[in-house]
Structure formats: structure tokens, C-alpha cells
Amino acid sequence: MSVTRPVGFRAAGVAAGIKEGGARDVALVVADEPAAVAAMFTVNRAAAAPVTISRAHVAAGPTGRAVVVNSGCANAGTGERGLAAAEAMAAAVADAVGCEPTDVVVCSTGPIGTYLPEDRIAEGIRSAAAVLGDDEASGVAAAEAIMTTDTVPKTTVVVGDGFVVGGMAKGAGMVRPDMATMLAVLTTDAVVDPEVLDEALRTAVDRSFHALDIDGCASTNDTVAVLASGGSGIRPDPVEFIGALTAACVHLEEQLAADAEGASRVVVIEVTGAPDDATAREAGRAMADSALVRSAFYGGDPNWGRLLGALGASPVEFDPTRFSVWFAGVQVAADGEPVAYDETALLEVLAGGNFDVRVDLGAGTAAVPVITTDLTPDYVRFNGERS
């Protein structure tokens, strides 16, 4: 199931000829009545036109009616013409479902630096609006229509006490950003005030998508949006609602990591012993961003020197003589120096697939995991192909 599982939502995914090959490329998610809306957007300074437009639409009012997504073109690097094209998408949805353009969140994903085929998008939106459904097939069709290099659609359902959260996502944390922005659309039938929804989304994203760091890039188009219809009539405790929304985001995040293009394994770098969460996260990302660290992960090599070198080259303040490292639970460095361990046994474990790395900074009690993947020859080949 997907975004259609909570009460009060319909969805559709159609093929509008934007992607080559006839795959679905326009997705529409519509709330039957005005719904509380919240969204988070990329921090990329070169944000795409749909991000600029959607940011303004979400800021304009506490409720929304629809999220429209096209794949096959990011509408980024497209100037004023791109802004007009994103506005036109919102207007087309407004026409089709009977709301204001400002009630529509617009997302695009695909190559940067080409203009949207506006006629096809408009026709696709009309087609999608005509086949909106609240069944499972309609939700899955929408999840398929937002895919780019994804090999499978990503959907989630989390059932709370009297309410439901549904969702869909695409991309893999910028593994292939000119084709694979990270987008997620969440729906819920909980009764949630807009300010609580906004707070809940920020917390959920912080604990899920923000922990995912495949190659250190923030795309021009990243967007996470949530609509709350209130259709269940249940107003959950905010803490309970945050928990359910976080679980949905974590579930989607795990699917993104597992589907990262060209990756052969998922590695969780947990930074412990940090003075605070922000330092732990910055440290984890500095190591996860290193092509050398991730090449070592590819080789199943417990090369703690690369972790030390990557962190040392970052702005993170830490004491190299308190730096300790474990691969798959086996300590390989203590207080900045090598320790003896059973190398044969550890290499065998690391060769097996996914593994965890723990890095302790010896400077506090904060701990934050960062999820990444290995860097593989396939990644380079995929990203070296002309798109």
C-alpha cells in the first residue's frame, strides 16, 4: 500500500511521454478535502524551480490539496521559464481537482538543465486527475511514476492507534543526482494541526533521511511533503504521531539505501562518544563523504586509517588520540593507535555484505548513526554515462 492507505486520499500515476520508453512519469496525490500540509526542501543554493514554487505555496497557507510529481526532467537550471513551467503544473492540478494553485506542492526529478515539455506535462496531469483512485493499485502507480534510476517503487504504511501514515519515496540520496533526486510524499488520516505536522516532519526527517548520506550531495530538487486529511477523526498525542511518521520515514529511507545505484553494500557508521548530536552527525558525514573510505568499504577492508584521515581533514574538532574504531563489532583501533585482532575472521565477516562501523570520539556520550553505501566501479560507470 502507499499514500492511498490513509482515509481521504486518492492517487494516480500515468505515462505522459516525458521519460523515454513509455514508463509512468506523472504522479498525482490528492486529498479529498483541504488537508494540513508541511514540507521540507533541499538546502541546495541552486534549488530547482518546483522547489521555489512549492516553498512559496506551503508558506502561503496551512492547508493543501495535492502533490504533483513528474520524473524525466528536474526543471532545474531553467530560469524564469522553469518557474513559469512549475507554476503551470500547479495551475493544471488546481484546474483538474478544483482548488487554488497555492494548494499544490510541485516536484520534479530527472536531468538538470533541460526545459520541461510543458504540453506533455499538462496533458499528463489531466490524464492522472481522470484516473485518481483510493485503491492500492493507484498508490503503487503513483510510486512507480516518481521513479528514475530506482529499480523498485518504495512505499510504506505505518498503522497507529486509530490512524494511518502512508508514503512513497524515490531516489537514493543523490547517488545519481541528475537522475535521482530524493523525493518523499507522506499522507496521514490523523487529525493534526499544521504546526504540529511541521514539527513532526522535521523530527521524522532528522531521524531518517538526514541520516542517509550516499555521496554527500544535496540535489537541486530534494523534497519531502506530508498531507494530513484528518479523515480518521483521531487526534493522536503528538509524541505518538511523531513516532509513526518517523517510522514511515525510516522505512522509506531503508528502501532508498538498499536500492542505491551501483552500491554493493549498506554500511552504517555510528559515531559514539561525541560531545553532542550535531558533532556526531558531522563526523559521520565527513567519513561517509570520503571516496576513499567508501572505496575501502567496497573492498571489505577495515581501513581505520582512512576514517581517521577523512575526519582529520574535516572541520570537526576531535582529539586523534581518543579515536577508536570497531568494524562489525571488532575493535581495530584504540585511542588513535592500532590494536591487534583476528584479521582473517574479520575479513571473512566484512566480505559477507552489509556491516556496521563504530567510531568513538572519546569526548562525550552523544551517538548518531549515518547510513551510507560502498563506492563501486559500477557507480562510476553509471554516472559516467551520458544521461
Q: Which of residues 161-200 bind its own copies (CB under 8 A)?
A: 174, 176-178
Beta carbon of residue 85, minimum distance to its own copies (angstroms, whole number): 12
Taking CB under 8 A as the rule, does residue 385 contact its own copies?
yes
127 or 331: whose CB is closer to its own copies?
331
Catalytic residue among 102, 148, 155, 181: 181
99 or 333: whose CB is closer to its own copies?
333
Amino acid identity for residue 37 in this structure: V
Beta carbon of residue 208, minimum distance to its own copies (angstroms, whole number): 20
Taking CB under 8 A as the rule, does residue 375 contact its own copies?
yes
61 or 312: whose CB is closer to its own copies?
312
Q: Tell me which residue of 203, 374, 248 sits closest to 299, measured CA to CA.
A: 374
Beta carbon of residue 336, minimum distance to its own copies (angstroms, whole number): 6
Which one of 23-31, 78-86, 238-246, 270-278 is the stretch in contact with its own copies (CB under 8 A)? 78-86
Which residues inside 286-325 make contact with its own copies, applying CB under 8 A?
A: 290-292, 295-296, 298-299, 301, 303-306, 308-314, 316-318, 320-321, 323
To the nearest 10°, report the CA torsion of 50, 54, 57, 62.
160
Taking CB under 8 A as the rule, does residue 363 contact its own copies?
no
Beta carbon of residue 211, minimum distance to its own copies (angstroms, whole number): 17
Which residues inside 233-272 make contact with its own copies, applying CB under 8 A?
A: none
* The three-state (H, E, C) secondary structure of the chain, written as one string: CCCCCCCCEEEEEECCCCCCCCCCCEEEEEEEEEEEEEEEECCCCCCCHHHHHHHHHHHHCCEEEEEEEEECECCCCCHHHHHHHHHHHHHHHHHHHCCCHHHEEEEEECCCCCCCCHHHHHHHHHHHHHCCECCHHHHHHHHHHCCCCCCCCEEEEEECCCCEEEEEEECCCCCCCCCCCCEEEEEECCCCCHHHHHHHHHHHHHHCHHHECCCCCCCCCCEEEEEECCCCCCCCCHHHHHHHHHHHHHHHHHHHHHCCCCCCCEEEEEEEEECCHHHHHHHHHHHHCCHHHHHHHHCCCCCHHHHHHHHHCCCCCCCHHHCEEEECCEEEEECCEECCCCHHHHHHHHCCCCEEEEEECCCCCEEEEEEEECCCHHHHHHHHCCC
Which one of 42-50, 183-191, 194-202, 247-255 is the stretch in contact with its own copies (CB under 8 A)? 42-50
Beta carbon of residue 261, minimum distance to its own copies (angstroms, whole number): 11
Beta carbon of residue 171, minimum distance to its own copies (angstroms, whole number): 13
Q: Which three cell numbers stand for residue 195?
A: 504546526
46 or 152: whose CB is closer to its own copies?
46
Taking CB under 8 A as the rule, does residue 10 contact its own copies?
no
Site size for its own copies (CB under 8 A): 72
127 or 295: whose CB is closer to its own copies?
295
Taking CB under 8 A as the rule, does residue 376 contact its own copies?
yes
Q: Which of 37, 47, 96, 168 binds its own copies (CB under 8 A)?
A: 47
223 or 376: whose CB is closer to its own copies?
376
Taking CB under 8 A as the rule, does residue 353 contact its own copies?
no
Taking CB under 8 A as the rule, does residue 365 contact its own copies?
no
Binding pattern for the stretch 84-113 against its own copies, x by CB under 8 A and - elsewhere: ---------------------------xxx
Q: Position of cell 536531468?
A: 111
54 or 138: whose CB is closer to its own copies?
54
Q: Which three cell numbers stand for residue 360?
A: 568513538
Beta carbon of residue 154, minimum distance to its own copies (angstroms, whole number): 21
Beta carbon of residue 351, minimum distance to its own copies (angstroms, whole number): 11
**How many CB atoms within 10 Å of residue 101?**
18
Q: Is 181 a catalytic residue?
A: yes
Residue 310 near residue 292, CB atoms below 8 Å: yes
Residue 82 near residue 75, CB atoms below 8 Å: yes
* Residues designated as active site: 181
